[in-house]
Structure 1
Amino acid sequence: MKKFSWLLLAALLTILLAACSEETSTSDQKAEEAPKKESEPEQKEEPDPPYQALEPSEDAVPLKESLSEEELKNMPEQQLALGGEPERAVPAGETLAKDMEDQTTGPLKDHRLVAYYGTPQSENMGILGTMEPEEFMKQLKEQAQAYSDADPKRPAVPTIELITTMAHRVPGPDGNYVTKLSDEKIEEYVKLAEKHDAIVLLDIQLGTDTVMNQVKSIEKWLKHPNVHLAIDTEFQVDEGEVPGEDLGQVDGQEVQEAVEYVSKLTEENDLPDKFVLVHQFTEHVLTNKDAIQPTDNVEVALNFDGWGSSTDKMALYKKYVRDKPSQYGGFKVFYDKDEPVMTPEEVVKLDPSPAIVNYQ
C-alpha cells in the first residue's frame, strides 16, 4: 500500500512539472512574439553620400558678414524690418529658388557644386581637355575650395562635367551630328571622381538625336551613385540643320521625360538621389520651361551659361533664372571670355545664389 502511495505521488508530481513547463514555454513564446508585434518597422538608414564636400578654411568668413552695407539693405529681413517689401527673391546666399521645395537628399540641398567642364577629345571645349586628369583634379579642388571659403554655410563639392556626346558640324558615323566618348574614357573619369570623392556630371549634346536616345545611351553610367545628368539645349537641331551653325532648341517636356527617367532609374536601383542640370544661354534654346519639375529623388537646376561682360551676365541670370525660376540656379564662368571673370565672392551673392557653378 505504501509503495502504491509513493507511485501515485510520483505520477502527480510528474504531471504538475509538465504543466508548469508547458506554461513557461508558452509564456516565453508569447514574450518573444509580443515585441515583434508591437515594434515599429525599422527605419532605413541613409547611406553616406558618394562624395565629400571641402570644408571651409578656419579663417573663412560667413557670407552675411562679408556683405557691404548696401547689400545688407537689400536683404529681405532688413527690408521687412524697415516696413518695406524685399526686392530680393530669396535671402542672400540661399540657393533654393523662391517658393520652391526640395524633398530629396540630393547633393544640391546642402552643398554647392563647383564643376570644370569639357572633354578629353578637345582643348577648345573647356578646361578638362587642357590637362592630365590628376592635375585637372588638383586645380578643380582649389577652385572648389574658394567657394567653400566664400560661403562656409554651403561647402563645395568638386564636380567633373564631362561632355559625353559631342555635337559636330559633320553628320558623323550615325548621321546624327554627334559622337560619343568611348566607354574607356568615361570609365576613367568616373573612377577619377570616385578616387577624389567627387561628382561626375555627364553632359549630352544632341545634334539631330533626341534627349531620351542620348540619356539611354549613358544609362549604365547613370546607375553609378556619383554620376548625374546635364543637357546642352543649344545643340539639338532639326533635320537639315547643323549644330554650331544653326541654334538648336529643346522643349521642356523632353527634359522632363529625362528627369522622370532618371528618377525611376534611381528608385529601381536603390541609388542616392540625383540631379539634372539644364543649360540655357538665351531665350530661344529652351521652351516650355514650366514643364520641367523636380521629383522626390531628382533635383533640377537651370544653368545660365552665356559669356561676356559680368554686368550683362548678371542681368541675364536674373532674366532666365531668377525671374523664371527652376528649383535651383546654375552659373557658368568662362576663364577666357568673361570680362572680367567674376570672383567666387561675387558669384555666391547672385540671387538666387547658384547651387552649381561650372567653369569653361
Structure 2
Amino acid sequence: MASRTASFRQLVAVTASAVMALGLASCASTDQEGGEASQVASTSVAETDNSPYREARAENVARAVAESFPQEPTVISDAGYTGVDTSEMFFDSSDTVVVSGAGIAQELRAASIGVVAHSPVLHAPGGSDAEVIAEIERLGASTVLLVGQALPGFTEDSVESVSKIIQDNGTEQGLAELTALQFDEQTVADVSDLARATATLVADQQTMLVPAWEQTTTLDDETPDNSPTDTLDAFPLQTNRDGEMAPVVIASPESGISAVATARAYGAEVRFMDYPDPRLNSETMEMVAGLSERPLLALGDQFGTGELLAEKIERGETVTTELPGGGGLVFPGRRMVALYGHPSGPALGAMGEQPAAEAVARVTELAKEYQPFDDEPVIPAFEVIATVASEFPGDDGNFSNEFPVEDLVEYVDAITDAGGYAVLDLQPGRANFLEQAKLYEELLKRPNVGLALDPEWKIGPDEQPMTRVGSVEASEVNEVAQWLADLVAEHELPQKAFVLHQFQVQMIRDRSQIDTTHPELAFVLHADGHGAPGDKYATWDMLRQDLSDDYFMAWKNFYDEDFPTFTPQQTYEDVNPRPWFVSYQ
C-alpha cells in the first residue's frame, strides 16, 4: 500500500491559510373475518387522497387471503436454494413432487414442468438430500419426478408414501411423454434473469425455460438407478391450489428458482423486483403498497426479516420524495460521480479548485463521461469536507476545524439545485464524530445531503495529529448511524447516504459489529487506496474481505497520487464490483 505522507503534508500546508481565508470559527387495525379469508384494514399514514399509491394500495388491500397464510409480511428463507421452506408454506400435501439435481438447466426444466403440473419443485444438488427427502415424506407424495442427477439411490422404499419414481431423460420426446403437452422453449439470457423468468411461468402456456449458457443433461441407458426406459410414464398433472386466495408474493434476482416455481405451481402471483427493497422505485412500491400490516410473502433471506420489510413498505408510502434519478433508495437506482474537496480552495481537493457553479459544470461533465458504461443514471455529486483535521489544537483543543454551515451552503446548494447529491465529510481529530455531525443537522435535514466519516483523521485524546493513520471503533460509528437514522425518520426524509472511508483494516475497529440494519441509511464503504493500479486493487480486495452485503462499494480516483489516474471506462469496467460512488481528489 502506498504511503499517505503526501496527504499529511498537504494538510499541514493548507490548514492555516484555510482558517484565515474563511474566518473559521468553531460551530457551535381492525380485523374483518369471513370464511377462510382475513382482511385487515391498512392503517398506513400514506392512506391519504393524494398518495401516489392510492389505487395500488386499494387493490392490494382488497385481496382476499386464506387464513392458512401468515397475516403479516413474512420472509421465506431459502438458504440452501432447496425450495423446501416455500413448499412447506404453500402445500399441506401433494401427490406429486418434482426434484432437480445440480445444474441451472436441470432446475429450470424442473421448474417449467412443476408449474404446468401444479407440483411443488425441490432442488437437491447434493448436500441437502435428507432435507428434500423429508419434505417429500411430509407432503405424502406418491409420484416423484427426478430431473437430472437428483437424489442418487432414492427408491420407492425411501419414503413410505412413494409408489412411483420417474426419471426424466432430459429430451424433448421425454417431456412430451411425461406431460402429453407441447412446450415452447424460452431462453434465459443471464443469471440475473433466472428468478424473473421463472416468475412469469404460466401453467396453461407450457413454457420450457432454457439457460443460454448451459444445456440440459440427457440421460442414457448407462445411468445407474432410476435409469430411463424407452417410454416414460406419464407424470400426473394436478389442479390449481390457489383458488385466488394466495397472498402477494415478491421475488428478486437472488430468489431461488425452485422457490419461485413452487409459488407459481400453487397458483400464486409472483411480483418480481430488481432489488429486494420495495422503495427502489414507484413500480416496486405499487407492488406492495398497503401491505405493511397484511399478508405478503417474500422469497429469500435477501429481503431481511418480515418486520424490516414491513418497515420499508411503511416508509416508502410515507416518504414519497424521490432522489435524483428517481426512487427512494440512494443505491441502487443510480450511481454517483463526485468531486471531493473544500470551499477554501484547491489544496484539499478538486471541488475547491473552482467556484461552486464551475465545480458543478465540471462534475456534471465528468458524470456524463461515465454514463455510456452503465445503464443506471449517473448523477453528479460533491463530497464537501465540513470539518478539517488540523496540525493545531485550536481553541477547543480537538485538532479539527469545524466550518460553519454558511461556509458550505453555497456548494451544497449548487450541486443539489443542479439535480445532484452532496455528502458532508467529517475529519474529527480528537473530537467525537457524533458531536461534529450534529453541527450540520440543518444541512442533513435536506433530502439530497448525506454524511461521511473519515477515520483517517480520528485520533485518541492524548495523540498528536499526523503521527499515525487514525481509527474509529464500531460503537462510535453506530452512535452516528442511529442518530442519522432517527433524523431521517423524524423528518420523513428519503434514504440517506452514510459513507465510511477506509484504506487500512485498523481504521474501522470491529467493522463486523457495525449495525447496518437501518433502512433509513445506505451504508457505503469508500475505499481510499491510491498509487499504482496493483496497489489500488489490493486495497479494494482487502477491504471487501468479510464485508457485509449491506454495504455499497465506493472508489476514489486521485489526480496526483494515482499512477495513472483511472479513466471512467477503467473505473467502471476494470474495478470489480463496479463502484456505486466514485470520488475525485
Q: Same fold (TM over 0.5)?
A: yes
Match status 1:245 vs 2:467: yes
Q: How does 1:1-360 map to 2 (within 5 A)?
A: 42=47, 44-45=51-52, 81=214, 105-151=328-374, 153-292=375-514, 293-321=516-544, 323-325=546-548, 326-349=550-573, 350-360=575-585
In structure 1, distance between residues paired with 2:41 and 2:502: 54
Structure 1 residue 321, shift from structure 2 partner: 2.4
- Counterpart of 2:385, as a letter, is I
- Matched position secondary structure for 2:554: strand
- Counterpart of 1:236, as a letter, is K
Deviations 1:161-210 (A, max 9, x none): 00000000110121100111232222212221232111110000010011
In structure 2, distance between residues paired with 1:219 and 1:309: 38
Cα distance change, pair 95–320 in 1 and its aligned pair in 2 (3 A): farther
Cα distance change, pair 168–100 in 1 and its aligned pair in 2 (3 A): farther
Structure 1 residue 240, shift from structure 2 partner: 2.5
- Counterpart of 1:345, as a letter, is Q
Cα distance change, pair 100–130 in 1 and its aligned pair in 2 (3 A): farther
- Counterpart of 1:257, as a letter, is E
Cα distance change, pair 243–122 in 1 and its aligned pair in 2 (3 A): farther
Structure 1 residue 80, shift from structure 2 partner: 8.0
Structure 1 residue 247, shift from structure 2 partner: 1.8
Cα distance change, pair 197–79 in 1 and its aligned pair in 2 (3 A): same
Instruction: Please report the TM-score for the alignment, with normalisation by the length of structure 1.
Output: 0.72
Q: Equivalent pairs: percent with the same residue? A: 30
In structure 1, distance between residues paired with 2:581 and 2:513: 21
8 Å Cα contact 1:165-1:205 kept in structure 2: yes
- Matched position secondary structure for 1:207: coil
8 Å Cα contact 1:95-1:328 kept in structure 2: no
8 Å Cα contact 1:144-1:158 kept in structure 2: yes
8 Å Cα contact 1:161-1:203 kept in structure 2: yes
Structure 1 residue 45, shift from structure 2 partner: 3.8
In structure 2, distance between residues paired with 1:179 and 1:95: 40
Structure 1 residue 309, shift from structure 2 partner: 0.5
Cα distance change, pair 290–82 in 1 and its aligned pair in 2 (3 A): farther
Structure 1 residue 231, shift from structure 2 partner: 0.5
In structure 2, distance between residues paired with 1:304 and 1:137: 24
- Counterpart of 2:544, as a letter, is V
Return 182-191 or 112-121, whichever deviates more: 182-191
Structure 1 residue 269, shift from structure 2 partner: 0.7
In structure 2, distance between residues paired with 1:243 and 1:79: 57
Cα distance change, pair 345–200 in 1 and its aligned pair in 2 (3 A): same
**Unaligned stretches of 5+ in structure 2?**
1-39, 54-189, 193-210, 217-253, 255-273, 277-300, 305-311, 317-327
In structure 2, distance between residues paired with 1:101 and 1:196: 34
Cα distance change, pair 345–269 in 1 and its aligned pair in 2 (3 A): same
- Counterpart of 1:308, as a letter, is G
In structure 1, distance between residues paired with 2:212 and 2:532: 30
- Flag as ranges the 4+ runs of structure 1 deviating above 4 A: 37-41, 75-83, 99-104
Cα distance change, pair 38–171 in 1 and its aligned pair in 2 (3 A): closer
8 Å Cα contact 2:345-2:354 kept in structure 1: no
Computed over aligned residues only, the root mean square deviation of the Cα atoms, in angstroms, reads 2.9
8 Å Cα contact 1:166-1:205 kept in structure 2: yes
8 Å Cα contact 1:229-1:276 kept in structure 2: yes
- Counterpart of 1:285, as a letter, is M
In structure 2, distance between residues paired with 1:76 and 1:340: 34
In structure 2, distance between residues paired with 1:313 and 1:202: 24
